[in-house]
A and B are shown apart, each in its own frame.
Chain A
Amino acid sequence: MRPTRTFDFSSFTLLLFVESEFARQLLTDMCRSLHVQAVISKRDHASAWDAFKANPVDIVIGDIDSERGLQFLRDARDIEKSPNALVPFIVTSIKSSVDCVASARDYGATEFLKLPLSAVTLLKRIVYVVEQPRVFVKVNGFFGPDRRRQQRTFKGTDRRQSPSAAADSTASEPISGAPSPKIERVAT
């Protein structure tokens, strides 16, 4: 039998940015029931941003159904101004269309939590960001978690061409996987 896993979230600082008063209170109470001691809940962008700058936030849960919510996510991932651009950011939304999930991902969301709320899904998302931290990627104006959750070996001919490879048309040997990227290590 698989042993029961235990977690101690008591040292975590969680920032909630949710405009709906009902949702904010419910999420605050649910997070406290998971023994998160420091739950900072804010309803507007300015106060949420101040709290984000003033506290060592471990996880952000933000509602992206409004433009202000998306802006907060965008600001949080802005390397120039964010105090912690690598923070795990769980977005909540009543929409689950491909477009909505894609825009959350493009703005740098770590996990997507579709409303209505359930205890299991909330806990799953938190456990996931704790146990499976995503590698971040900075490329062509995007900064956020790497969209690929799995690293698979590519089978077949790699037909992608970098500028240098395009110039060197002799590079026709099959290449397995992507070119070695630059990897940095950062502690949060």
Chain B
Amino acid sequence: MTAPGQPIFIKVINTLKRRAQRGRGASIEEMCAAADQVLSDHTAGLRTATLNAIAASREAIAAWKVGGDNAILVQNLATMALEAEDQGNVLGNPLLVQVGTRLSTFIALFSKLPPQSAPNRKAIIAIELHLDAMLVAIDKGPHDTIEDSALVLLGDLELTQRTIG
């Protein structure tokens, strides 16, 4: 009997190790190279996907300018901002994460507008600035820290948001 409060240790019999050594398998180096290749492919694919998303957003902005439903634009941009944050976190692009976060905050203001509200020129400029900043972030590729020039860019986005918001 085990006394109350006394820990019970459970030694797990390792079947994984045995199974991992059963077949011919692949070397650590081969597997690492293969996984690295997958990561590179996804990073390259991200650039194309983001460019497409930005193009779609610009189309939604154009439609909004001529009286389109702003709910569609909000939906489009909110999704893109969220994806940018996600992708930046997974691939190591803190600038993309920051731009995505700022765009999310800015878009939250738009969601409060009535669906057919008149387009605001300043707001459109601000959104386009965020889209341009996203392009800069994508072009930088994976990085560890946000450098000074990028900090200036983020500061400008912050200022634009405060001015318009």
Contact = CB atoms under 8 A, between A and B. Distances in A.
Interface of A: 4-12, 20-23, 25-26, 29-30, 33-35, 58-59, 86, 88, 94, 115-120, 122-123, 127, 129-131, 133-140, 146, 162-164, 179, 181-188
Nearest to B88: A116
A182 to B, nearest CB: 5
Given A33-B34, A123-B32, A6 B5 contact: no
Interface residues of B, number: 47
A35 B28 CA distance: 12
A184 B9 CA distance: 6
B86 A137 contact: no
B31 interface: yes
Interface in B115-150: 142
A186 B86 contact: no
A184 B42 contact: no
B73 to A, nearest CB: 22
A129 B19 CA distance: 13
Contacts of B20: 7-9, 12, 130
A138 B13 CA distance: 17
Given A116-B90, A127-B28, A135-B12, A181 B39 contact: no
